[in-house]
A = this chain, B = another copy of it.
């Protein structure tokens, strides 16, 4: 049976990390909230499951994945669950823990990337926190971005199997996640990324290789890939890209 992914239908957001893994693996899945309401989809379908009072393990927030009767949330947890089933995780426990550890750092990174436009809270509009966003973004782009990307570069450098993949000698969901953070940062902060990329050549090369993986290239060129926009995590506000 196809996996059912539940995520907001108009943004890449956190759900995109799951979509990328499913697409790269060629796994059968339904992106439920992107179906029409007439077909049982849309945001109402997402809300209905999330708020179902009979659900013993309710998600706190999207994305969540339904696999039979199992409903799992938290992006990194979903990927940890899916990875071995769709051929995008290492076989041994140590490798799986390592892949998950890296994905949890991706979680940390995208929270900070998100907070460049919402440093005071998600319930306030960006327009209500513009000066604070500017200060946050400056700090993020100067100190945090090079630290995170430099760490991911170091992971590639230290991989005993070579710098082709983040973990071991085969693709995992960590590779598709690396693609996404480079792509997202290039969209949101093209100037800062052009300054930062020279220091992380292996990571950029990984991004390029992932983009050329056949199933992923097909996905990225398709209508299933939602365009970056100013409702998601990575937003292009030129005033923040100092």
Contact = CB atoms under 8 A, between A and B. Distances in A.
Name the prevailing secondary structure of the A interface residues.
helix
B58 A72 contact: no
Interface in A63-80: 70, 72-74, 76-77, 80
A130 to B, nearest CB: 12
A139 B119 contact: no
Interface residues of A, number: 42
Given A123-B143, A132-B119, A158 B56 contact: yes
B120 A101 contact: no
A160 interface: yes
Given A56-B158, A70-B94, 16 more contacts: A56-B159, A57-B98, A58-B151, A58-B154, A58-B155, A70-B97, A72-B101, A73-B101, A74-B104, A77-B97, A120-B132, A120-B135, A120-B139, A121-B139, A121-B140, A124-B139
29 contacts: A55-B158, A56-B158, A56-B159, A57-B98, A57-B158, A58-B151, A58-B154, A58-B158, A60-B105, A60-B151, A70-B97, A72-B97, A72-B101, A74-B100, A74-B101, A76-B104, A80-B100, A81-B97, A119-B132, A119-B136, A120-B132, A120-B135, A121-B135, A121-B136, A121-B140, A123-B139, A124-B139, A132-B132, A132-B135
Interface of A: 55-58, 60, 70, 72-74, 76-77, 80-81, 94, 97-98, 100-101, 104-105, 107-108, 111, 115, 119-121, 123-124, 132, 135-136, 139-140, 143-144, 151, 154-155, 158-160
